[in-house]
Structure 1
Amino acid sequence: MTKQQSGATVAQPKHFLLAGYVGGINVGDETLTAAVAAHISRHYSSNITIASGQPALSQTYIGNSYNYVEAYYPGQPLNTKGLLNLVRAIRQADIIVFVGGGLLQDAHSTKLIQHCAFIASVAKVMNKPVMSFGIGAGPIKSAQGVKLSNLFLHANDVLYCRDSYSVEYIQQHLAPQPDTIKQGYDSIFLQGQQPADTARQKVVGLCYRHWPGLEQSTLLRLTQQLIDNEYAVVFMPYEKSDIALYHSLKQQFGDKIQLSTEQNIAATLGTISALHGLISMRLHANLLAILAGVPCVALSYDPKLSSVLASVGYGQNVLPLSASAEEILHLLQHPPAATQQHLLQQAIAQNAGCFSDAINLSLARQTPFSAVRKVALTAYWYRSLVLAPATRRVAVAIAPVFNKLLPGSLKAWIRRKLGFNW
């Protein structure tokens, strides 16, 4: 894998707008956002604004060195003033950068793809360059997800995927613009390797999430075996929903398992670098452990784990989600020898070059949208984000009266049009 050379000489951007699944709050996505923002700060004379669903939380986690603007995902849609503020931030930017993560998927809903497609297409309506970096793709199961993903792809001047699986998924299931999809690495590698903590304690981090195929009995058995082997155990939630798993373990093991409560990027990096080992379903927790030289066992619930870790020489650290407690503990205690350490160094060295090339390519191309398409996109987003929510609010308000008066066939038609059980 070699970095792409654009050969273009262009004026460097001064004002970056960073977007993605920011403000979820998902520790992995906040961490890679911090990595991209810090990299830009080190290498460009720039002003950085971060679009976040919860700006106050992102500011606490990522830091006060950047500006923040509220994005409409996650959470409720923004009001008209909020949307105008977001559009104003897009207009003021010299370039829009999607910071990475699994943006092209609808495992839970199409809201994330919609959010990204909105920002990217509004940027194109305003003739702004758009690039995406470290992107993961798949699965996309709905027709709406495919439609929004293609809109997002068409608004990108260049898109670097984090692994070969994502490149192949886009090429096979979507319709990208010609010669815009490149293969690079995960955005987290922009931060480079972290200094090892020489005072590591015998502490193992558990980073689990609810997922089909995760056996609670295996998690309980593994935790018991860790305790029997005199490890201290710390549970590391990456989303709020993960805490339910911690409480189930806490009920069983009491004070023998603790909860990690880091509130900022420095604390997260410090906790991981001090671990004796990590057992994680979360991609970015594993990558942070690798960058800190901490032995990790990655439990694969999605092809991204195997694909991304193999690309940096850590494919042998991956086990299926169905692995037994004994298999997990054995791999943790007997980590495979790093026979392809050069792949990690290559990822760190080349990723910075890929990022620079992505900026140059997007600035040089700046693929324009036609006037007709700009009008159509403006109408589409106004209907989707302003008119449709307003219509639903009115429908809910009048439902108690009209539900009693309208025939069933007409109510069924209204339900289809509104998209919910009116």
Structure 2
Amino acid sequence: MSRIVVSGYYGSKNAGDEAMLAAMLEVLGDLDPKLHITVISANPEDTRRRHGVAAISWLGLPAIIRELRQADLLISGGGSLLQNVTSRRSLYYYLAIIFLARFLGTKVMLYAQGIGPILGRVAAFAMKWIGNRVDLITVRDQGSLAELSRLGIHKPPIHCTADPVLAIHPVDREAGRAIFKAYHADGAKPVVGISVREWLGWTHYKEVLAEVSDRVVRELGARVVFVPMQFPDDVRAAQAIAARTKEPCTVLKDEYTTSEFLSIVGNMDLMLGIRLHALIFAGVMGVPMIGISYDPKIDRFLQSIGEEPVGNLRDVTADELMAEIRRKWNDKQTFRQQNAELLVKLRDQAASNAELALNLAHK
């Protein structure tokens, strides 16, 4: 039986990261049902309950050392772990776990990582020194590949694949319909989903999204539902926008599982997202999407499916967003088909991360 330890931003109530872990476990389990996986988590109890795997605390150094000593492989990823824009300290934590694994003689794979931005000479040096000592790197986009090149990381085998969540299986829409009904947001009206987040205390984009929400209701006769990907932070961000609206809208205020999120998004007619994995969920469930950029990872994902973000959080306008919403609203089936064709290839690439990991673990 092969043993794998997984390090990432798990147990912190972030739907995107939990979806990455769920997708990783799903594909790895399909390939090797006897695999033993232990996850390093900020909330081991939640991770055990949510995903049905062994979990240890991210601060429990003796347990981490014990698990790494027994493991055939450390998987670091997926997601944007190796960057220092949203958090300076987390980069060094994840690099330290990688260093510890290599020190103990455990093989290491960076799994579908979104690399960078990495700012500052010390951080770049640390990333280069450790990155060149892992056994295998897969990245989820071409921008991450370019960042590795810029940092001088070239010694391990490197593959450009896709975000792990793109390999997850679509789900039934019934659970999402039940959640809408509980919020009195069901019925015959089409639905536009909006995924938001707080960012640097800015308010401009909140005012823009409140205006867009009102215009969607008035002009398209649609229902607007705000979907929280990070609980409870995104609920508060959505409520701040909803408080600025004049027309009715719905803010989902609960915490959901990955399958529930997928089902919720599957009931949308269009997804407008700031959060990356709200857009990826839309891709998995065949829902047309519009992204607003705040981080290179948004631009990179949209480019991979032949799209571009509509502005960024600093300067996006309601008119820009409404023009793109109308364009996709009037031809939803065409955009569903275009995205679906590109996503087939990305799903295969996402699944290849697990195949590469198991090949490395079994060596």
Secondary structure at the aligned position of 2:244 is classed as: helix
Q: How many residues align?
A: 338
Equivalence for 1:279: 272
Of residues 26, 31, 36, the one that matches 1:43 is 31
How far off is 1:100 after superposition?
0.9
Instruction: Give per-residue Cα distances to partners, 1:278-309, cap 9 Å, x unaligned.
Output: 11011111011011011111112222222222
Partners in 1 of 2:127 and 2:294 — Cα distance? 23
Q: Which residue identity is paired with 1:220?
A: A
Of residues 99, 114, 117, the one that matches 2:92 is 114
How far off is 1:66 after superposition?
0.7
How far off is 1:84 after superposition?
0.6
Percent identity, aligned pairs only, is 23
Q: How does 1:238-387 map to 2 (within 5 A)?
A: 238-239=229-230, 240-253=232-245, 256-311=249-304, 313-316=305-308, 318-321=309-312, 322-335=315-328, 337=335, 338-339=337-338, 341-361=340-360, 364=363
Secondary structure at the aligned position of 1:323 is classed as: coil
Of residues 57, 61, 83, the one that matches 2:46 is 57
Shift of the 329–56 alpha-carbon distance from structure 1 to 2, 3 Å rule, reads farther
Partners in 1 of 2:121 and 2:222 — Cα distance? 48
How far off is 1:327 after superposition?
2.8
Partners in 1 of 2:360 and 2:66 — Cα distance? 24
Instruction: Give per-residue Cα distances to partners, 1:150-198, cap 9 Å, x unaligned.
Output: 34413421110100011101111x2324243221111112214456779
Displaced runs of 4 or more, over 6 A: 196-200
Of residues 182, 185, 207, the one that matches 2:162 is 185
The answer to whether the Cα contact below 8 Å between 2:4 and 2:72 also exists between their aligned partners in 1 is yes
Partners in 2 of 1:127 and 1:47 — Cα distance? 19
The answer to whether the Cα contact below 8 Å between 1:113 and 1:148 also exists between their aligned partners in 2 is no
Q: How does 1:117-196 map to 2 (within 5 A)?
A: 117-172=95-150, 174-194=151-171
The answer to whether the Cα contact below 8 Å between 1:51 and 1:68 also exists between their aligned partners in 2 is yes
- More displaced 10-residue stretch of structure 1: 182-191 or 259-268: 259-268
Partners in 1 of 2:263 and 2:134 — Cα distance? 35
The answer to whether the Cα contact below 8 Å between 2:137 and 2:156 also exists between their aligned partners in 1 is no
Partners in 1 of 2:27 and 2:245 — Cα distance? 41
| RMSD (Å) for aligned C-alpha atoms | 2.5
Q: Which residue identity is paired with 1:166?
A: S
Q: TM-score, normalised by structure 2?
A: 0.84
The answer to whether the Cα contact below 8 Å between 1:196 and 1:292 also exists between their aligned partners in 2 is no
Partners in 1 of 2:326 and 2:354 — Cα distance? 36
Q: Which residue identity is paired with 1:187?
A: P
Which structure has the bigger radius of gyration?
1
How far off is 1:102 after superposition?
0.8
Partners in 2 of 1:66 and 1:206 — Cα distance? 32
Q: Structure 1: 5+ residue runs without aligned partners?
A: 1-12, 73-81, 365-422
Instruction: Give per-residue Cα distances to partners, 1:59-97, cap 9 Å, x unaligned.
Output: 44x32x21111113xxxxxxxxx2111211212222111
Q: TM-score, normalised by structure 1?
A: 0.73
Partners in 1 of 2:239 and 2:340 — Cα distance? 37
The answer to whether the Cα contact below 8 Å between 1:90 and 1:123 also exists between their aligned partners in 2 is yes
Q: Structure 2: 5+ residue runs without aligned partners?
A: 178-187, 329-333
The answer to whether the Cα contact below 8 Å between 1:301 and 1:320 also exists between their aligned partners in 2 is no
